[in-house]
Amino acid sequence: MLRWVHIALAVLLVMLAGVIAWHVFRASREREPVYQGKRLSGWLETLYDEKKPIGDRAEQAIRRQNIRRVEQAIRQIGTNALPLLIEGLQAQDTKLKQLMMTWVQKQKLVHFNFKSANQRRIEAILGYQALGPLASAQVPSLSGILTNDPSPDVRRAVAQVLASIGPEARLAASALFHAAKDTNDAVRACAFFALGGIRPASQFTIPVLVAGLDDPYPETRWHAAMSLGRYGQEAKAAVPALLRTLATNNAAGTERDAAAGALKQIRDAAAWALKQIDPEAAAKAGVE
Protein backbone atom coordinates (compact mmCIF):
# COMPACT_ATOMS: atom_id res chain seq x y z
CA MET A 1 0.00 0.00 0.00
CA LEU A 2 2.78 2.40 0.99
CA ARG A 3 4.54 1.70 -2.30
CA TRP A 4 1.46 2.80 -4.27
CA VAL A 5 1.20 5.97 -2.19
CA HIS A 6 4.79 6.81 -3.10
CA ILE A 7 4.09 6.11 -6.76
CA ALA A 8 0.97 8.30 -6.69
CA LEU A 9 2.87 11.15 -5.06
CA ALA A 10 5.66 10.84 -7.61
CA VAL A 11 3.16 10.90 -10.47
CA LEU A 12 1.52 14.00 -9.00
CA LEU A 13 4.91 15.71 -8.76
CA VAL A 14 5.64 14.85 -12.39
CA MET A 15 2.26 16.19 -13.44
CA LEU A 16 2.84 19.41 -11.47
CA ALA A 17 6.28 19.85 -13.01
CA GLY A 18 4.75 19.14 -16.40
CA VAL A 19 2.07 21.80 -15.98
CA ILE A 20 4.68 24.38 -14.92
CA ALA A 21 6.98 23.39 -17.78
CA TRP A 22 4.08 23.58 -20.25
CA HIS A 23 3.19 27.12 -19.25
CA VAL A 24 6.84 28.21 -19.52
CA PHE A 25 7.18 26.37 -22.81
CA ARG A 26 4.00 27.91 -24.26
CA ALA A 27 5.05 31.42 -23.24
CA SER A 28 8.44 30.86 -24.84
CA ARG A 29 6.94 29.47 -28.07
CA GLU A 30 4.66 32.48 -28.47
CA ARG A 31 7.68 34.75 -28.91
CA GLU A 32 9.86 32.33 -30.85
CA PRO A 33 10.92 33.22 -34.41
CA VAL A 34 9.95 30.79 -37.16
CA TYR A 35 11.69 29.91 -40.43
CA GLN A 36 10.21 27.57 -43.06
CA GLY A 37 7.46 26.64 -40.63
CA LYS A 38 9.90 25.47 -37.94
CA ARG A 39 10.54 27.27 -34.68
CA LEU A 40 14.04 28.31 -33.65
CA SER A 41 14.05 25.80 -30.77
CA GLY A 42 13.38 23.05 -33.31
CA TRP A 43 16.31 24.14 -35.47
CA LEU A 44 18.56 24.24 -32.39
CA GLU A 45 17.49 20.75 -31.31
CA THR A 46 18.23 19.45 -34.81
CA LEU A 47 21.65 21.08 -34.77
CA TYR A 48 22.36 19.59 -31.34
CA ASP A 49 21.44 16.10 -32.59
CA GLU A 50 23.39 16.41 -35.85
CA LYS A 51 26.54 17.49 -33.99
CA LYS A 52 26.74 14.20 -32.09
CA PRO A 53 29.87 12.33 -33.25
CA ILE A 54 28.20 9.07 -34.26
CA GLY A 55 27.92 7.04 -37.44
CA ASP A 56 30.29 5.93 -40.20
CA ARG A 57 31.90 8.21 -42.80
CA ALA A 58 28.88 8.21 -45.05
CA GLU A 59 26.57 9.16 -42.20
CA GLN A 60 28.98 11.84 -41.02
CA ALA A 61 28.99 13.35 -44.52
CA ILE A 62 25.19 13.51 -44.46
CA ARG A 63 25.34 15.05 -41.01
CA ARG A 64 27.70 17.77 -42.24
CA GLN A 65 25.26 18.64 -45.01
CA ASN A 66 22.42 18.79 -42.51
CA ILE A 67 24.47 20.98 -40.19
CA ARG A 68 25.16 23.47 -43.00
CA ARG A 69 21.45 23.55 -43.83
CA VAL A 70 20.41 24.14 -40.22
CA GLU A 71 23.07 26.81 -39.67
CA GLN A 72 21.85 28.60 -42.79
CA ALA A 73 18.31 28.51 -41.41
CA ILE A 74 19.49 30.06 -38.13
CA ARG A 75 21.33 32.78 -40.05
CA GLN A 76 18.11 33.50 -41.93
CA ILE A 77 16.39 34.00 -38.58
CA GLY A 78 19.26 36.34 -37.74
CA THR A 79 19.14 38.72 -34.79
CA ASN A 80 15.57 37.63 -34.00
CA ALA A 81 17.21 34.52 -32.52
CA LEU A 82 19.25 36.45 -29.96
CA PRO A 83 16.68 36.78 -27.12
CA LEU A 84 16.09 33.02 -27.03
CA LEU A 85 19.81 32.25 -27.34
CA ILE A 86 20.90 34.45 -24.45
CA GLU A 87 18.10 32.97 -22.35
CA GLY A 88 19.29 29.44 -23.14
CA LEU A 89 22.87 30.42 -22.40
CA GLN A 90 21.92 31.27 -18.81
CA ALA A 91 19.74 28.19 -18.27
CA GLN A 92 19.89 26.56 -14.84
CA ASP A 93 18.12 23.46 -13.52
CA THR A 94 16.15 24.05 -10.32
CA LYS A 95 16.41 21.54 -7.48
CA LEU A 96 12.89 20.35 -8.31
CA LYS A 97 13.77 19.84 -11.96
CA GLN A 98 16.93 17.93 -11.04
CA LEU A 99 14.89 15.73 -8.74
CA MET A 100 12.25 15.09 -11.39
CA MET A 101 14.82 14.31 -14.11
CA THR A 102 16.48 11.79 -11.80
CA TRP A 103 13.14 10.18 -10.90
CA VAL A 104 11.92 10.03 -14.51
CA GLN A 105 15.11 8.21 -15.53
CA LYS A 106 14.58 5.59 -12.82
CA GLN A 107 10.94 4.70 -13.53
CA LYS A 108 8.89 3.51 -16.52
CA LEU A 109 5.38 4.50 -15.52
CA VAL A 110 5.50 8.08 -16.76
CA HIS A 111 7.30 9.33 -19.84
CA PHE A 112 8.32 12.96 -19.77
CA ASN A 113 10.98 14.64 -21.90
CA PHE A 114 13.03 17.05 -19.77
CA LYS A 115 15.66 19.15 -21.52
CA SER A 116 18.55 19.78 -19.16
CA ALA A 117 20.11 23.20 -18.67
CA ASN A 118 23.35 21.79 -20.06
CA GLN A 119 21.65 20.87 -23.34
CA ARG A 120 20.01 24.29 -23.55
CA ARG A 121 23.41 25.97 -23.07
CA ILE A 122 25.00 23.78 -25.74
CA GLU A 123 22.15 24.53 -28.16
CA ALA A 124 22.62 28.25 -27.46
CA ILE A 125 26.36 28.02 -28.12
CA LEU A 126 25.68 26.24 -31.42
CA GLY A 127 23.16 28.93 -32.34
CA TYR A 128 25.67 31.69 -31.67
CA GLN A 129 28.30 29.82 -33.67
CA ALA A 130 25.91 29.74 -36.62
CA LEU A 131 25.26 33.49 -36.32
CA GLY A 132 28.88 34.52 -35.78
CA PRO A 133 29.31 38.32 -36.13
CA LEU A 134 25.53 38.71 -36.52
CA ALA A 135 25.35 38.34 -32.73
CA SER A 136 27.65 41.33 -32.06
CA ALA A 137 24.76 43.47 -30.78
CA GLN A 138 24.70 41.32 -27.64
CA VAL A 139 28.39 41.75 -26.79
CA PRO A 140 27.70 44.25 -23.94
CA SER A 141 25.11 41.93 -22.38
CA LEU A 142 27.37 38.90 -22.80
CA SER A 143 30.26 40.79 -21.18
CA GLY A 144 28.11 41.55 -18.16
CA ILE A 145 27.09 37.89 -17.82
CA LEU A 146 30.72 36.76 -18.13
CA THR A 147 31.75 39.10 -15.32
CA ASN A 148 28.81 38.69 -12.96
CA ASP A 149 27.07 35.32 -13.40
CA PRO A 150 27.73 33.06 -10.39
CA SER A 151 27.66 29.86 -12.47
CA PRO A 152 31.03 28.77 -13.95
CA ASP A 153 29.12 26.74 -16.55
CA VAL A 154 27.41 29.91 -17.78
CA ARG A 155 30.65 31.95 -17.73
CA ARG A 156 32.44 29.24 -19.70
CA ALA A 157 29.63 29.12 -22.26
CA VAL A 158 29.66 32.91 -22.67
CA ALA A 159 33.42 32.93 -23.32
CA GLN A 160 32.90 30.32 -26.04
CA VAL A 161 30.14 32.43 -27.57
CA LEU A 162 32.33 35.56 -27.61
CA ALA A 163 35.01 33.57 -29.46
CA SER A 164 32.46 32.56 -32.10
CA ILE A 165 31.46 36.21 -32.66
CA GLY A 166 35.11 36.97 -33.47
CA PRO A 167 36.72 40.42 -33.86
CA GLU A 168 33.28 42.06 -33.68
CA ALA A 169 33.34 41.18 -29.96
CA ARG A 170 36.40 43.28 -29.10
CA LEU A 171 34.33 45.38 -26.70
CA ALA A 172 34.36 42.29 -24.46
CA ALA A 173 38.14 42.48 -24.01
CA SER A 174 38.07 43.79 -20.43
CA ALA A 175 35.52 41.12 -19.40
CA LEU A 176 37.77 38.43 -20.93
CA PHE A 177 40.85 39.84 -19.17
CA HIS A 178 38.88 39.50 -15.94
CA ALA A 179 37.80 35.94 -16.88
CA ALA A 180 41.45 35.07 -17.57
CA LYS A 181 41.90 35.24 -13.78
CA ASP A 182 38.75 33.27 -12.94
CA THR A 183 39.00 30.73 -10.13
CA ASN A 184 37.46 28.09 -12.41
CA ASP A 185 39.96 26.29 -14.69
CA ALA A 186 37.55 25.78 -17.59
CA VAL A 187 36.44 29.43 -17.55
CA ARG A 188 40.07 30.61 -17.73
CA ALA A 189 40.81 28.23 -20.60
CA CYS A 190 37.79 29.45 -22.56
CA ALA A 191 38.73 33.08 -21.89
CA PHE A 192 42.18 32.55 -23.42
CA PHE A 193 40.59 30.72 -26.35
CA ALA A 194 38.24 33.66 -26.90
CA LEU A 195 41.07 36.21 -26.78
CA GLY A 196 42.70 34.37 -29.68
CA GLY A 197 39.47 34.45 -31.67
CA ILE A 198 38.71 38.09 -30.97
CA ARG A 199 42.30 39.43 -30.93
CA PRO A 200 41.81 42.69 -29.00
CA ALA A 201 44.55 45.37 -29.15
CA SER A 202 47.90 43.58 -28.88
CA GLN A 203 49.47 46.01 -26.40
CA PHE A 204 46.88 45.03 -23.82
CA THR A 205 46.31 41.39 -24.76
CA ILE A 206 49.84 40.03 -25.30
CA PRO A 207 50.86 40.50 -21.62
CA VAL A 208 47.70 38.67 -20.53
CA LEU A 209 48.43 35.78 -22.91
CA VAL A 210 52.07 35.61 -21.81
CA ALA A 211 50.94 35.33 -18.19
CA GLY A 212 48.65 32.49 -19.30
CA LEU A 213 51.68 30.43 -20.33
CA ASP A 214 52.33 29.87 -16.60
CA ASP A 215 48.75 29.01 -15.68
CA PRO A 216 48.46 25.87 -13.50
CA TYR A 217 45.82 24.39 -15.82
CA PRO A 218 47.41 22.74 -18.91
CA GLU A 219 44.51 23.55 -21.26
CA THR A 220 44.83 27.23 -20.38
CA ARG A 221 48.56 27.20 -21.22
CA TRP A 222 47.75 25.54 -24.55
CA HIS A 223 45.13 28.15 -25.43
CA ALA A 224 47.47 30.97 -24.36
CA ALA A 225 50.18 29.71 -26.73
CA MET A 226 47.77 29.17 -29.62
CA SER A 227 46.24 32.63 -29.15
CA LEU A 228 49.70 34.23 -29.17
CA GLY A 229 50.40 32.53 -32.48
CA ARG A 230 47.26 34.04 -33.99
CA TYR A 231 48.73 37.51 -33.41
CA GLY A 232 51.67 36.70 -35.67
CA GLN A 233 54.46 39.29 -35.65
CA GLU A 234 52.42 41.54 -33.33
CA ALA A 235 53.35 39.14 -30.53
CA LYS A 236 57.15 39.56 -30.82
CA ALA A 237 57.34 40.48 -27.14
CA ALA A 238 56.13 36.96 -26.30
CA VAL A 239 59.08 35.17 -27.97
CA PRO A 240 61.21 34.80 -24.79
CA ALA A 241 58.25 33.40 -22.85
CA LEU A 242 57.44 30.97 -25.66
CA LEU A 243 61.07 29.82 -25.82
CA ARG A 244 60.99 29.23 -22.07
CA THR A 245 57.69 27.35 -22.41
CA LEU A 246 59.15 25.23 -25.19
CA ALA A 247 62.26 24.39 -23.17
CA THR A 248 60.34 23.69 -19.96
CA ASN A 249 57.87 21.36 -21.63
CA ASN A 250 60.64 19.63 -23.61
CA ALA A 251 62.30 18.72 -20.31
CA ALA A 252 59.11 17.77 -18.49
CA GLY A 253 57.65 15.96 -21.48
CA THR A 254 60.29 13.22 -21.26
CA GLU A 255 58.65 11.88 -18.12
CA ARG A 256 56.38 8.87 -18.53
CA ASP A 257 53.31 10.04 -16.66
CA ALA A 258 49.67 10.87 -17.28
CA ALA A 259 50.53 14.53 -17.96
CA ALA A 260 53.00 13.73 -20.76
CA GLY A 261 50.33 14.04 -23.47
CA ALA A 262 49.20 17.45 -22.22
CA LEU A 263 52.80 18.66 -21.99
CA LYS A 264 53.44 17.59 -25.57
CA GLN A 265 50.38 19.52 -26.73
CA ILE A 266 51.63 22.64 -24.94
CA ARG A 267 55.09 22.16 -26.46
CA ASP A 268 53.58 21.78 -29.94
CA ALA A 269 51.41 24.87 -29.43
CA ALA A 270 54.43 26.93 -28.32
CA ALA A 271 56.40 25.70 -31.34
CA TRP A 272 53.55 26.59 -33.72
CA ALA A 273 53.21 30.04 -32.15
CA LEU A 274 56.95 30.70 -32.49
CA LYS A 275 56.82 29.85 -36.20
CA GLN A 276 53.94 32.29 -36.70
CA ILE A 277 55.58 35.09 -34.71
CA ASP A 278 59.32 34.74 -35.40
CA PRO A 279 60.35 31.99 -37.83
CA GLU A 280 64.05 32.78 -37.29
CA ALA A 281 63.81 32.36 -33.52
CA ALA A 282 61.83 29.16 -34.06
CA ALA A 283 64.53 27.75 -36.35
CA LYS A 284 67.27 28.60 -33.83
CA ALA A 285 65.26 26.75 -31.18
CA GLY A 286 65.16 23.66 -33.40
CA VAL A 287 61.49 23.97 -34.30
CA GLU A 288 60.87 22.33 -37.67
pLDDT tens readout for residues 127-146: 999 999 999 999 999 999 99
DSSP secondary structure of the chain? -HHHHHHHHHHHHHHHHHHHHHHHHHHHHHT--EETTEEHHHHHHHHHHHTS--S-HHHHHHHHHHHHHHHHHHHHHGGGGHHHHHHHHT----HHHHHHHHHHHH-SS----PPPHHHHHHHHHHHHHHHGGGGGGGHHHHHHHHHH-S-HHHHHHHHHHHHHHGGGGGGGHHHHHHHTT-SSHHHHHHHHHHHHHH---HHHHHHHHHHHTT-SSHHHHHHHHHHHHHTGGGGGGGHHHHHHHHHHHHHHTTS-STTHHHHHHHHHHHHHHHHHH-HHHHHHTT--
202-212 and 185-198 helices, crossing angle to 10°: 150
Q: Is the pLDDT of residue 271 over 60?
A: yes
Q: pLDDT exceeding 90 applies to what percent of the chain?
A: 68
Position 26 scores a pLDDT of 46
User: Cα torsion at 154, 155, 156, 157 (round to 10°)?
Assistant: 50
Position 144 in a domain = no
Position 107 scores a pLDDT of 53
If we measure between CA atoms, which residue out of 166, 155, 170, 245 comes closest to residue 205?
A: 170
Position 94 in a domain = yes
The total domain count for the chain is 1
- Alpha-carbon distance of 131 to 126, in angstroms, equals 9
Position 47 in a domain = yes
Position 61 in a domain = yes
pTM score: 0.82
- Alpha-carbon distance of 285 to 288, in angstroms, equals 9
Q: Is the pLDDT of residue 24 over 90?
A: no
Is residue 5 classed exposed, middle or buried when 0-12, 13-18 and 19+ CB atoms within 10 A define those classes? exposed
Domain that holds residue 65: 1-131
Query: Span 55-60, mean pLDDT?
Result: 82
For residues 20 and 213, which has the higher predicted lDDT (pLDDT)?
A: 213
The length of the chain is: 288
Position 280 in a domain = no
